[in-house]
Structure 1
């Protein structure tokens, strides 16, 4: 486990560190049922790029359409996770940490999708902005949409690109409040 010293600059503002927020939408209960992925990169303490891709899930049965709005018709011609992995992997290059709001979910989907595709699982540790929000925000609910509302962050909830960008912004706001990487480490 990585530790921070009091003299270290805030992680989100350290020019030597890079973070990538990741968000998945899934088509089912299985960890490898990703049907959309969004990535948002933080460099030098600010958003530096994003990536979004619909994914063809392993089954034509798509659940959770009422949440994310995605259907088999929209996904059937999309590339598979394995097909887009080279782009995702390039986007993750140099990242010290991966970020997610409820990181246990997104880490599980990433690991399951990589394993199902026969790909190596990224080694970066995960930081959880839900965990950081629970530690520091005076809100009855720390769900992504509620935290975004609290901070005034624009959000199209359950759109993977928007959720990833919002997570990155939340991370920067939590760091500004003094929440450390260690306090968000999954």
Structure 2
């Protein structure tokens, strides 16, 4: 299995460029081999989703911005043939929105979605990250980007162990 990176963004507002945290887990040889996490100073000082992720402007205002973190982010993504996220449409939107907003070249790497995969491969009433993790017995500090990325990586590995292909989880468009 070639390199796959699971990622998770937290955002400070409704705009695609408002990343305020990013967690990534690198999968090589069928196991997680490395993790990366950072808070991110968002482009605007109002943080609307504190009740969800617990992050405040005071926690974020002295952090590096997305463009300042981009060399570290792109280095972690190096050699990845696939990006994975739980509800990957959201994370792809944030990654591309941040890159577009700050004039950075977005990585040309396809996205697979573990929500899509869990709907195909797991018989559950709900496929939210916390529900899938509970079903699989995975630890989760929900809405902590590092924990959510690790959870997405482990869900991806579980779905692959069931015989699901990347193509069955792939985002279109």
TM-score of the superposed pair, with normalisation by structure 2: 0.98
- 1:30 & 1:169 partners in 2: Cα distance? 28
In the alignment, structure 1 segments of 5+ residues that lack a partner are 1-13
- 1:109 & 1:87 partners in 2: Cα distance? 17
Larger radius of gyration: 1
How big is the shift at 1:23? 0.4
In the alignment, structure 2 segments of 5+ residues that lack a partner are none
Q: Deviations over 1:84-135 (max 9, x none)?
A: 0100100000000000000000000000001111100110000000000000
User: Counterpart in 2 of 1:75?
Assistant: 60
How big is the shift at 1:178? 1.3
1:118 corresponds, among 73, 88, 103, to 103
Matched, 1:96 2:76: no
How big is the shift at 1:184? 0.2
Matched, 1:131 2:121: no
User: Counterpart in 2 of 1:65?
Assistant: 50
Q: Runs (4+) of structure 1 moved beyond 2 Å?
A: none
1:146 corresponds, among 119, 131, 155, to 131
- 2:122 & 2:140 partners in 1: Cα distance? 18
User: Counterpart in 1 of 2:158?
Assistant: 173
Q: What SS is found at the alignment partner of 1:89?
A: helix
TM-score of the superposed pair, with normalisation by structure 1: 0.91
Q: CA RMSD in A?
A: 0.5
How big is the shift at 1:136? 1.1
- 2:162 & 2:133 partners in 1: Cα distance? 15
User: Counterpart in 2 of 1:85?
Assistant: 70
User: Counterpart in 1 of 2:142?
Assistant: 157
Q: How many pairs are equivalent? A: 171
- 1:61 & 1:155 partners in 2: Cα distance? 27
Q: What SS is found at the alignment partner of 1:123?
A: coil
Q: What SS is found at the alignment partner of 2:76?
A: helix
- 1:35 & 1:70 partners in 2: Cα distance? 8
How big is the shift at 1:43? 0.3
